[in-house]
Amino acid sequence: MKPAAFEYHAPATAQEAVELLAELGDGAKAIAGGQSLMPMLILRLAVFDHLVDLRRLEGLRGIDSRDDSVWIGAGTTHSAVGKSPEVRGSVPLLSRATPLIGHFQIRNRGTIGGSIAHADAAAEYPAVALTLDAELEVLSPRGRRTIAVAEFFTGMWSTELAEDELLTGIVFPVRQGRCGFAIEEFARRSGDFAIAGATVAVRLDADSRIDRCAIGLFGLGPTAVRASTAEVELIGRAASEVDPRDVGHTAVSGLGSVPSDLHGSADYRRRVGAAMVARAWRRAVQEASDD
Ligand code: FAD
């Protein structure tokens, strides 16, 4: 199939792009790598009269190491994120998540901002951003604002972004202390979206007690989520005394409605999710212990 006819716009600046989006209203949509939007247009799951292409916007691309954070332009491709030594050294969870996204052709065109703005419940980057408490920089004709990622995802494929707002950058805190990070997911074939997945960030104090931990879950609800109840129960405990399987069970027991479809029932996803949390927990704690 082909998409319905649309008018193509290629603004030269981000300011021009948001003004166009404001002027054209709900008949317009931004397009970045096109790896999620184009299939939706081709299948006619979405129809827009105007597409505003973000690829000429140089201010949306790049990776910049700052004092205690790494800024990544929303238009930076998954491949560029995956190849970056700064990301590998300072935000290893993001680096490790990247090869799990689709295939290399998709990673060469898809962008980190597109992935987070698209807010697919089974996508890796939204869960990584939640786990690392990233901040999202947003531009509209009314100016700039920053949104904490915990407030960003509002439901299936929906976010806090208004129609005329663009994500311009994502700010990730840099790892500090004795940290470990891991992502685990289960998909039927390499490159498929995960049936269920988990991300873990853990920090140990000098006595190997857990002084910070974050557990993200994806593919297990309408949006990626944090397993907050499990996190709270783990703080202050000696890492060696925690059974990873218990972490997995507690993490999924706090979930609300879990999707059930031809790829797996809700019960199956919960069991896979618990196993992914347990695996990721074990690896993250091992890494932090070796640090
Ligand atoms: P687009 O498709 O261009 O846009 C997606 C949405 O985001 C649109 O609504 C658009 O308006 C909005 N948007 C884009 N950029 C911005 C911005 N800067 N500000 C505001 N809104 C914006 N993803 C995974 O995470 N894991 C996978 O395993 C995976 N597998 C895939 C397999 C296949 C076969 C395909 C085709 C895609 C797969 N993807 C997967 C999706 C891929 O990661 C996309 O690249 C990503 O979801 C969207 O990025 P994009 O730049 O292509 O965005």
Ligand 1 pocket test: which of 115, 128, 139, 199 has the largest number of ligand atoms within 8 Å of its C-beta? Answer: 115
The C-alpha atoms of residue 215 and residue 227 are separated, in whole angstroms, by 5
H or E element that contains 167: strand 166-173
State the pLDDT at residue 1.
Answer: 79
Q: Which two tokens stand for residue 204?
A: 């140990």
- In the chain, what percentage of residues exceed pLDDT 90? 94
Ligand 1 pocket test: which of 20, 26, 45, 101 has the largest number of ligand atoms within 8 Å of its C-beta? Answer: 101
Residue 107 pLDDT exceeds 90: yes
Residue 67 pLDDT exceeds 90: no
Mean pLDDT of 257-279: 94
Taking CB atoms and a 6 Å cutoff, what residues make up the pocket around ligand 1? 29-37, 39, 54, 74, 101-102, 106, 110-111, 113-115, 117-118, 120, 123-125, 161, 166-167, 193
pLDDT digits (tens, 9 = 90+) for 130-154: 999 999 999 999 999 999 999 999 9
State the pLDDT at residue 17.
Answer: 98
pLDDT digits (tens, 9 = 90+) for 149-196: 999 999 999 999 999 999 999 999 998 899 999 999 999 998 899 999
Q: Which two tokens stand for residue 23?
A: 């002027």
pLDDT digits (tens, 9 = 90+) for 17-44: 999 999 999 999 999 999 999 999 999 9
User: Could you give the residue ranges of the DSSP H alpha helices within 119-265?
Assistant: 124-131, 228-234, 244-253
Please tell me what DSSP assigns to residue 171: E
